[in-house]
Amino acid sequence: MIRDFNCKKYIITVVKLVIIIGMSDRIAARNLPSKQAQTGQEFYTDINTVDFTYDTNKVLPEGSEVKAYLLVNETIKVLFLIEEDSPVSLKITPCASAVESSVLYKSISDSKDYEDDPLFEEQVKPTNPAGIQLDSYVGSEAHTFQRSVNSTGVYTVFLRPIESDTYVKFFLRLKKFARDSTFYPSLPRNSAIRADSIRRKSFTVSWNRSQDETPYGNIITYCVSVSAKKSSDTYCSLMSYMFGDKLPVASKSRGFFFPWEDEVLKIFQSKARPVKKVKPREIHYTCVDTNTKYIYTQARPGKTYFVNVYAINKRTNMSSAYKKLEVKTKKRKQRDRIRKLRDGKLQELEFKKSKLRFDFKYDLKNTSDLFLAVHSCTGKVTLKVTRGSIRGESVFVKKVKRSTNFTLENLKAGTYFIDIVSRKRDAPKTARLVVSRKQSKLRYPILPQKSEVFLVDNSTTSNSLTIGWRVTKSRRKFCIYQKEISVRRKRRRNYNQCSNKNQSPVIDSKKVKCMKIRHQTPNMVLNHQIRNLKSNTLYQFDVVIQLGKGYSLLYNSLQTATKQHL
């Protein structure tokens, strides 16, 4: 930094001179005098007066768009001067971030401190200096400060990005700039985007035409952006996120080329964190020429999309944004996950890690008893019955292992909901469910509580033995199977009793005999002698209980050996 006092005084004097030049309305309208006027030869200057005025003094030029880079949560100030009472219009266009802005006025007599601003960019504190606040705004849309009559004085604009670093564009227009010289396309009175039709995978939007459109030689084109992530409220916001912002650099005509200016720029660049471009396909962008309707066909059901439309002047490449629109597509038609039970019909349930619950409903028209047969083929399941809704009045809750019959007595007429829930996620399970108002229609075999095939005492010889098993009350058909085995094997703990014939443990066994038992008493024991066996041989015996077509359950197997032949 400059430490010599005399040097500082010299610099301040130069700054004063530049500020006076910057405040003149001639600086934006005129170029430096050409040498051609004096010598008749062509002469070009490398100094851009607009960049020179804004970058050096933070004084906004008139009738030209300038761009500044702002650091997040750091406030800067820019100035413009009105030398005579006149209307003013200042358009502020934020790009990558929403901004917080305010405009303060000071009369010329109260603005002596303005001339003492440093040459390099000053990061000021959020506290506003003394002055009259004329305008304030917070948002991500383009904002215009406009007054029909303004007093002579200095107008200070304070600006602070809220979300991230961002570029901001300024466009100052005073009285002498007529409307037809405005570079920004004018929007219709109703600048809202309309959603004409919304479907699950597409939607149609439309908008009113810009007032700057002409029948011949039209200079207005429309562009549309659609995103499920965020709304791009300005065209430069869209460009920032589609392509990413660049690190701020100094213009060729910035400052007076002092070495310390380069150091200040390096420090500023080290603090800068420009936004990066978004992932491909995160923003859908297309231009539709002069059409005022667009159909988006890449939507997903039940999702919210942000739609932005921009009117762009093809000659100046400047844009105006319509009011944003949020569109939520229709949800996918969901099938009723609560299935309706038919009286006496068997339901096969297969639990998976992604589906551990089955919901059913059953309509009971009159007050009566309700009979349920539940069979947990592997492990345990929870049976829950409620009235009115899934979370309605609880009627019955029970944990079920293997096959069980339940009777719910004197139930009121209404709709009952039956839930079968498996809690374990380690292995798939299967279960069966039958519901009926009549016990005779509950055609599902039930195993007794003790469902083992056992060996009758003192019945084993070298070529025969007698096995026994308990039975339930109702009529059933029993089949006996046998097979030779080499070693005793433990029965699998979670064997699926509801497995089909191809997976059954009796698939390679020999059928010994089938018998129908019509009249039984609870816990009755059936015995059967098996002959023609080999001596000193290990056998496995299975008993299968059947009811109807295909519904069968398996008793626990018996593994035993015949005696040695003497």
- Is the residue at 235 inside a domain? no
Answer yes or no: do 20 and 167 share one domain: yes
For the record, the structure tokens of 356 come out as 């551990």
Assigned domain for 224 exists: yes
Residue 267 inside a domain? The answer is no
> What share of residues in the chain are helix, strand, coil (percent, to 5)?
15, 45, 45
Residue 359's nearest CA partner among 418, 399, 400, 436 is: 418
Same domain, 437 and 357: yes
Interatomic CA distance for residues 145 and 360, integer angstroms: 63
Tell me, yes or no, whether 538 lies in a domain: yes
Same-domain check for residues 100 and 16: yes
**Same domain assignment for residues 431 and 367:** yes
Residues 19 and 163 in one domain: yes
| Residue 79 falls inside a structural domain | yes
Residue 46 covered by a domain: yes
Q: Is 164 within 8 Å of 99 (Cβ atoms)?
A: no
Question: Do 314 and 353 have their domain in common?
Answer: no
Rounded to whole angstroms, what are the CA distances from 20 to 53, 56, 114?
Answer: 10, 12, 11
How many structural domains does the chain have? Answer: 4
234 falls within a domain: no
**How far from each other are the two terminal CA atoms of the chain, in whole angstroms?**
117
pTM of the full structure? 0.54
Residue 342's CATH number: 2.60.120.380
The pLDDT value recorded for residue 231 is 92
pLDDT at position 107, please? Answer: 81
pLDDT along the chain (566 residues), means of 10: 45 49 41 35 37 61 86 89 82 92 80 45 44 88 84 88 92 66 80 93 94 78 94 93 86 60 77 89 92 94 95 89 94 75 85 82 86 83 88 88 83 90 70 85 75 87 90 79 84 58 67 80 83 90 76 82 83
Residues 375 and 524 in one domain: no
Would you state the pLDDT for residue 449?
74
pLDDT for res 237: 93
Distance of CA 532 to the CA centre of its chain: 71
Structural domain that includes position 120: 5-177
Q: What is the CATH number of the domain that holds 199?
A: 2.60.40.10
Spatial distance between the Cα atoms of 446 and 441, rounded to a whole number of angstroms:
14
The pLDDT of residue 476: 76
Q: What is the pLDDT of residue 550?
A: 53
pLDDT for 38 equals 36
Same-domain status, 476 and 415: no
One domain for residues 376 and 324: no
- 316 with 356, same domain: the answer is no
The CATH number linked to 20 is: 2.60.120.680
